[in-house]
Amino acid sequence: MVMKSITVASVVSFAAGLAVASFAGFREFIPGLLEGALVTIQIAVAGALVAVVCGLLAAMGKMYGPRPVRWLAVGYIELFRGTSALVQLFWLFFVLPHFGVTLAPMTVAIVALGLNVGAYGAEVVRGAVGSVPRGQWEATVALNMTRWEALRRIILPQAFVAMIPPWGNLFIELLKSTALVSLITIGDLAFRAQQMNQTTFRTVEIFTIVLVIYLAIASVITVGMKTLEARAAGAMARGRSR
């Protein structure tokens, strides 16, 4: 039922996009905004990969690492959760050059958003791992597994199913946060929209298209994560029935 509702919402969003594009007053803005949307998607995908890696490493370090690694993981999580994503973006772009480190705008965008979302993702991973029944850990001890073997073969596969919904929410938040990168001269969707609006003053048409494009991309993320969740849950159920 949930998948059906999500699919309907996605179809409606794409249909709305086609309807908007069909109006003559909107057509002139479509090509430029789609170019910006491609940049937005690239940043969102790359940032999501960075976020997943950072979130997993930080969670494992916080829970099972030696004391210095735990401190480092906690420091990273609290720093990036406790400060603004915009300030983090500006710090990497404007402050790092004062220390002799200059990064390309796209690199700054991907790293800043990935680190920011990864800090929240670390707590998602930690909570999911903590939700695995204690009996599973006891079973791994009985099988003489090391902690890392138990995590890789038993605990993380079960926790993975619980992680998917909150990670889906974080990916959508990451997508929406990509609008911030227009402030460091990246020609993403928001940047293109602002440029067009400043030169044409066609605010209604431009930002209606932008609204629909963001909705369409978010719907794709939602459907993808729901599909992944259903498949992971099915695989887990089949594994338990053997």
Helix axes 203-241, 189-200, angle to 10 degrees: 170
Residue 239 lies in a domain: no
pLDDT at 42: 96
Residue 210 lies in a domain: yes
CATH number at residue 173: 1.10.3720.10
Name the stretches of the chain with pLDDT < 70.
Answer: 1-26, 236-242
Residue 188 lies in a domain: yes
Residue 241 lies in a domain: no
Residue 147 lies in a domain: yes
pLDDT at 84: 94
Residue 48 lies in a domain: yes
Residue 140 lies in a domain: yes
pLDDT at 218: 93
Residue 190 lies in a domain: yes
| Burial annotation 194-218 (CB, 10 A radius, 16+ → b, else e) | bebbeeeeeeebbbbbbebbbbbbb
pLDDT at 195: 92
pLDDT at 105: 95
For the stretch 236-240, contacts whose Cβ atoms lie closer than 8 Å and that sit 24 or more positions apart, written own/partner, are 236/157, 236/158, 236/161
Give tens-digit pLDDT for 106-155.
999 999 999 999 999 999 999 999 888 888 887 887 777 887 888 888 88
Tokens 């300030």 belong to 87
The residue segments making up the domain with residue 195 are 2-16+28-234
pLDDT at 58: 96
Domain count, the chain: 1
